[in-house]
């Protein structure tokens, strides 16, 4: 047996190291650090976890209060041009290029619910900003 694991000053480290990163079974950890089954082991483990939590708090500071999460609504139908849910696709660049050329007729086609109307709204917005 390795006597280093039995050193009282290092018991919190030994408990956490043997139990978590090495994933040893509880009974083997108890045997290595010299703690019997029952209250001593659990108390020593609680103290070790509390010491680790205090150390992390000293390093990182007090945790900030979580900001409330803004309610999100599921987008349906056409999205506004500045909607954060809009995902730019290759067809956005193709449409922008076609709209920059004079005398073009553009057809937007595709299956249901793929963003045809949202793409059209963005195209109209582009033409209003920069007429060809």
pLDDT for res 1: 55
Same domain, 45 and 83: no
pLDDT for res 14: 82
**Assigned domain for 66 exists:** no
pLDDT by residue, tens only, the chain of 132 residues = 567 767 778 788 888 888 777 778 888 888 888 887 777 888 888 889 999 889 888 888 877 777 888 777 776 788 888 888 888 999 999 999 999 888 888 999 999 989 999 999 999 998 898 876
pLDDT for res 92: 93
Considering its fold, how many domains does the chain have in total?
2
- Which residue in this structure is represented by tokens 């500071």? 61
DSSP 18: H
Closest residue by Cα to residue 98 from 113, 90, 82, 88: 90
**Assigned domain for 69 exists:** no
- Which residue in this structure is represented by tokens 């937007």? 108
**Assigned domain for 114 exists:** yes
For residue 94, the enclosing domain spans 75-132
Prediction pTM value: 0.46
pLDDT for res 84: 82
pLDDT for res 132: 64
3-state secondary structure of 93: helix
Closest residue by Cα to residue 15 from 58, 38, 53, 47: 47
**Assigned domain for 83 exists:** yes
Q: How far apart are CA 36 and CA 72, in angstroms?
A: 52
Q: Residues 35, 37, 43, CA angle at the centre, nearest 5°?
A: 65
Q: How far apart are CA 85 and CA 82, in angstroms?
A: 9
Dihedral (CA of 90, 95, 96, 100) sign: positive
Q: How far apart are CA 85 and CA 74, in angstroms?
A: 9
């Amino acid at each position: 047996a390795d006597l280093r694991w039995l050193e009282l000053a290092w018991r919190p480290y030994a408990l956490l190291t043997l139990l978590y990163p090495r994933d040893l079974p509880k009974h083997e950890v108890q045997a290595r650090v010299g703690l019997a089954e029952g209250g001593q082991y659990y108390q020593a483990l609680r103290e070790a976890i509390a010491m680790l939590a205090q150390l992390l708090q000293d390093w990182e500071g007090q945790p900030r209060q979580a900001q409330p999460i803004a309610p999100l609504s599921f987008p349906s139908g056409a999205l506004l041009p500045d909607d954060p849910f809009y995902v730019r696709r290759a067809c956005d660049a193709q449409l922008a290029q076609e709209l920059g050329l004079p005398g073009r007729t553009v057809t937007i086609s595709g299956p249901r619910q793929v963003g045809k109307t949202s793409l059209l709204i963005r195209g109209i917005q582009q033409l209003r900003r920069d007429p060809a």
